[in-house]
A and B are shown apart, each in its own frame.
Chain A
Amino acid sequence: MSDAALPAAQVVRPSRLRRLEPVTFLWIVLIAALLVLVAAPILKMVVISFEEQDTGVFTIQNYVTAYGRARYLEALRNSLMLGTLSAAISVVIAVPMAWAVSRTDMPGKGFTWATVLAAFIMPPYLGAIGWILLAGPNSGWINVAWRDLTGATAPLVNVYTFTGMAFVIALHSFPLVFIFVKSALDLISSEMEDAANILGGGTWVTMRRVTLPLVWPSIMGGFILIFLETIALFGTPAIIGIPARINVVTTQLWQFFEDPVRVEVAAAFAIPLLLVTIALIAVQKLLLARKGFVSQTGKGGERRQIKLGPWRWVLFAWCFAVAMLSVGKPLTVLLQASFAKAWGRGFSFDNLTLRNYQFLLFEHDMAPQAVWNTVWFSGASATIAVVLALLVAYIVVRRLMRFADALGFLAMAPFVIPGIVMAIGFYAAYAGPPLSLYGSALLIILAFASRFLPIAYASSQAAIRAVHPEMEEAARILGSGRLHAIRKVTAPLLKTSLLGGWLVVFIVASRELSAAIFLVGPRTRTMSVLLYDLTEQGNFEVVSAFGGILLVITLAIVGIGMKLVGRDFMLRRE
């Protein structure tokens, strides 16, 4: 009896020890980190939206204030309409491009890819400034040329309108639709199109009746994402919307931060943004869930390019026009302005100057500091996000813990939180006592890390899924511990995709405005915030020069990324 009991006890003890392996502590640390980064700011925001300022007594007065005025409701309505219109324009722009690149023999596919990438990395507020220079009703280049050519007095285009603003936003959002739709189209085999052809459908009918319906969920998915990005956008509505007299939710939130600072009312006003986002993400999940049986049959299938004949030049013209409107023209006028004494005077030698760059780099007290802040905040937040995401993804994918999915849920949650709402949550939770992080670099780094955690998580998850556990198991059988196995086997295999994730987070963080705007202090202004401050005076020459510096930094990072990770690292859909 006692002889039998002894071995049993010996078996139990090591297994208990094994349960206390480092991964348990890691799990606890991760939960704590995610609570600090994700759950606390959001909970705090929801809580204070029901609190009276100073006393903290429960009240619904904040909601009454936030929705008690026609103007505030108008802002909400404007945001919803702007989101819908921008998303619709993006779909119109991007779907033909995606179809052309994925399914047809259109020339210039590399060029189209480059356009999509360039439109993606250009910060939306820079595009907005470019378009003010292009499509100001009187001074915009397009309108000046139009008047010269036709003798007309009315402007051809006006950026200071609702459609103008939606169009400018769409020109920098469409890459999301493109990526979604193209990757879905890539999965459809030509057999389905062949079937339609055999039954008498021409290219056009087939595309409309067969191909596009198959990728409908992806189109909707892209539409929803752009809608959400647009309603959370701050820079473009502030730069174009104020002269155009269009108030939206984000600019209204800014007004609630005027003295007296009403964080509580801002929180109450931000809640619907959060609810709309959650609802739409749910819709998107439903739509994308159907994707499995609409296009992926599990069979290989043949993929052939559709021969378009002369029509391929029409499609190429479309892609070329998009390239000009989204990147070519805005970039040209921004560059011109950045080297101009007065941009309105156009291209001429006596209008050329380096003064704008000189002012920023050598005379401006804050600009070099802002450049440095941007680089190191983005780097630090990308590192935090990637490390955290990798560990969470590892636990979730390998199902190491019972509640692993809770971790995954928390890591993805910031995806449904608009940046400006996140900033209000961080301000409410950490700006004041007891932590008093307001004005510190840490506050912004944490906010950025939290905001872009989902991007890092999605790429880590995909990367870890791709590494079969066998390799790690082999290491463990040979006696290495789990963390050792991760360090020596898994991590080296993941290096490239992790670097890709890190770079994407770095780039989106380096241009982030809405999450930074309420959190920066005098010494922690980023380039995006300083750029926003500079636009107040309408001094477009200096603003453009600063935008030029920002683009050079971004391009350098993208270049490094392409070299190390592969040309399509920004646009891979993971």
Chain B
Amino acid sequence: MFLIDRRQMLALAAWSAAATRAWADSPMNPQERELYEAAKREGEITWYTGQYSADASEAAGRAFNERYPGVRCNVVRSTSQVAFQRLSQDFRAGVGQCDVFSSTNGGHYVQLKRQNRLVKFRPVNADGLLPILRRPDPDDYFQSSFLGIYLMGHNTNMVSEAEAPRSWTDILDPKWKDKLAVGHPGYSGAIGLWALQMRTMYGPDYLRRFERNKPQVGRSSIDPVTMMTAGERAVGVAVPSASTLFAASRGNPLKLIYPTEGVIAAMSPSGIPTNAPHPNAAKLFQEFQTGPALSTAVRLLFNESIRPDVPPPEGSRPLDQVTMLAPSLEEAEKGVPEVREQWREIFGV
């Protein structure tokens, strides 16, 4: 099992190293080239992101540096709500520090757009995205940069595949008491979306019943993956497929569970704040994110490709075979702060 995985990994790495080089060298479109020249004068771009994991964000930053020598990407990775908190602190202090803001909670963009805090810009590369991601905002104030699949996972040594929960309501069964782990909607944007989706589907009582099983609460949606790997908890709830597959590829006994109702799909955009200190580099970064170079870099760490011309990652189910559940951006803007507050009343933290 371990051997096969490793061989797969090696093959994959060889293939993707070649592919990465190819994409790093792939020609820039005219707008991109123009932005690159302007961005070189600015020298850097600061990226607040909560979308890809720490490893994948760093890989994306390196891919950007490789593709555009002379422009440096500063990766500031945290959970999405914390990234948004930092952006809000920047606005409150009147100090622009962030060039591109990437959050899993799409509601943030509706709010920022309404507050006139986003720059209107459409990267040319956005035309090549998956059809569902092509135009998240008809007015082009933000662009898709992430498609995250959030589902369940289990430690196969602790729970066999036959026993494992199959649906989002299975985990409410008291037999899962003290066996679950989950992130926190006050930190993770994706957990906010998940909690909102559960409330929409199963009513306000869902979280209360979920709490009775005493899930271990972390901060990031990735935290439960560590808890499963360690054997601290058997089942991770609303974990990202990418981090789970990555941990499994390192020899940990983890397996994905695709809940019968469907997975939570965070189709999340990125935007440029109006007070961005490096506006051209920011636009260039948007071209990078919507272009093939980003998808090529992050798929190595098992993240979904957001373009049809870059193949999906190994080991995850093709997107056309899964039901994707997601609150709309408008629902997220209103609903996520609400469920976050309810969560805190129910869980105490």
Interface residues in A, total, Cβ within 8 A: 52
Whether A536 and B220, one on each chain, are in contact in the complex, defined by CB atoms closer than 8 angstroms, is yes
Within 8 A of A (CB), among B21-48: 46, 48
Inter-chain contact B218/A243, CB cutoff 8 Å: yes
Q: Which of B186, B232, B345 contacts A139 (CB 8 A)?
A: B232
Q: Say whether A538 contacts B75, CB under 8 Å.
A: no
Partner of B82, one of A243, A525, A536: A536
Interface centre among B61, B81, B247, B348 (most CB of A within 10 A): B348
Stretch at the interface among B9-17, B87-95, B161-169, B309-317: B87-95
Cα A245 to Cα B344 with chains together (Å): 10
Given contacts A160-B216, A245-B349, A537-B53, contact A366 B74 (CB under 8 A): yes
Question: Which of A388-396, A477-485, A515-523 participates in binding chain B?
Answer: A515-523
Query: Known interface pairs A138-B233, A439-B90, A538-B218. Does A365 touch B61 (Cβ–Cβ under 8 Å)?
Result: yes
Q: Is A363 a contact of B85 with CB atoms below 8 Å?
A: no
Interchain CB contact under 8 A, B95 and A431: yes
> In the complex, which residues of chain A have a beta carbon less than 8 angstroms from the beta carbon of B54?
534, 537, 539, 542
Known: A242-B217, A245-B349. A436 touches B95 (CB 8 A): yes
Asked if B58 is at the interface (CB within 8 A of a chain A CB), the reply is yes
Nearest-Cβ distance from residue B208 to partner chain A, whole angstroms: 14
Q: Is A342 an interface residue (CB 8 A)?
A: yes
- A540 partner residues in chain B, CB cutoff 8 A: 226, 230
Q: B224-237, CB under 8 A of A: which get 1 and which 0?
A: 11110111110000
Interface of chain B residues 64 through 92 with chain A (CB within 8 A): 73-79, 81-82, 84-85, 87-90, 92
Is A251 a contact partner of B349 (Cβ separation < 8 A)? yes
A343 lies within 8 A of chain B by Cβ? yes
Other-chain contact of B88, A260, A364, A432, A439 (Cβ < 8 Å)? A260
Residue A357 CB within 8 A of the other chain: no
Q: Does A257 contact B (CB under 8 A)?
A: yes
| Minimal beta-carbon separation of A72 from chain B (angstroms) | 10
**A205 within 8 A of partner (CB):** no
Partner of B230 from the list A139, A243, A436, A523 (CB cut-off 8 Å) is A139
Q: How far is the CA of A534 from the CA of B230 in the complex (A)?
A: 17
Q: With A344-B231, A432-B93 given, is the CB distance from A365 to B73 under 8 Å?
A: yes
CB-nearest residue of chain B relative to A257? Answer: B85
Q: Which residues of the partner chain B approach A494 to less than 8 Å between Cβ atoms?
A: none
CB-based contact B88/A366 at 8 Å = no
Given the interface contacts A263-B92, A438-B90, A439-B95, does A363 sit within 8 Å of B348 by beta carbon?
no
A433 part of interface (Cβ distance < 8 Å): yes
Q: Which of B243, B252, B349 contacts A241 (CB 8 A)?
A: B349
**Once the chains bind, are B77 and A538 in contact (CB under 8 Å)?**
no
Contacts of B344 in A (CB 8 A): 71, 247, 255
B220 / chain A contacts, CB cutoff of 8 Å: 536-538
A261 and B230 form a contact (CB under 8 A): no
Residues of A within 8 A of B217 (CB): 242-243, 245
For B53, what are the chain A residues with a Cβ–Cβ distance below 8 Å?
537
Say yes or no for B184: interface residue by CB 8 A criterion: yes
Which residues does chain B contribute within 8 Å of A342, judged by CB atoms?
229-230, 247, 250-252
A243 touches B216 (CB 8 A): yes
A409 interfacial contact with B, CB 8 Å:
no
CB distance from B242 to the nearest CB of A (A): 12
Given contacts A439-B95, A538-B223, contact A242 B184 (CB under 8 A): yes
Q: Do A438 and B93 contact each other (CB < 8 Å), given the known contacts A138-B233, A160-B216, A342-B229?
A: yes
Chain A nearest CB: distance from B217 CB in Å? 6
Chain B residues, Cβ within 8 Å of A251: 349
Most B CB within 10 A of own CB, among A138, A245, A246, A535? A138
Cα A47 to Cα B92 in complex, Å, equals: 17
Contacts of B238 in A (CB 8 A): none
Q: Is A74 an interface residue (CB 8 A)?
A: yes
How close is B345's CB to chain A, nearest CB, in angstroms?
A: 7
Known: A243-B216, A260-B88. A366 touches B93 (CB 8 A): no
Interface string of A509-536 (1 = CB under 8 A from B): 0000000001001110100000001111
Least CB distance from A78 to B in Å reads 10
Assuming A71-B348, A363-B58, A365-B75, is B92 touching A242 (CB within 8 A)? no
Contact present for A438 and B348 (CB under 8 Å): no
Q: Residues of B contacting A137 with CB < 8 Å?
A: 232
Is the CB of A136 closer than 8 A to any CB of chain B?
yes
Please report the C-alpha to C-alpha distance between residue A197 and residue B25 in the assembled complex, in whole angstroms: 87
Q: For residue B223, which residue of chain A has the nearest CB?
A: A538
| Bound CA span A534–B347, Å | 23
Across the interface, name the chain A residue whose C-beta is closest to B62. Answer: A363
Q: Does B194 contact A (CB under 8 A)?
A: no
B251 and A341 contacting across the interface, CB-CB below 8 Å: yes
Complexed CA–CA distance, A123 and B222 (Å): 25
Q: Tell yes or no: A259 within 8 A of B by CB.
A: yes
Contacting A138 at CB < 8 Å: which of B61, B93, B231, B349? B231
Does A427 have its Cβ within 8 Å of any Cβ on chain B? yes
Please name 16 pairs of A and B residues whose Cβ atoms are closer than 8 Å in the assembled complex, sorted by A.
Answer: A137-B232, A258-B88, A261-B89, A343-B230, A364-B58, A432-B92, A432-B93, A436-B93, A436-B94, A518-B89, A521-B90, A522-B97, A522-B98, A536-B223, A537-B226, A538-B224
6 residue pairs, one from A and one from B, having the closest CB atoms = A538-B226, A538-B223, A344-B230, A431-B93, A438-B93, A259-B88
> Which residues of chain A have a CB within 8 Å of any CB of chain B?
71, 74, 136-139, 160, 238, 241-243, 245-247, 251, 255, 257-261, 263, 341-344, 359, 363-366, 427, 431-433, 436, 438-439, 518, 521-523, 525, 533-540, 542
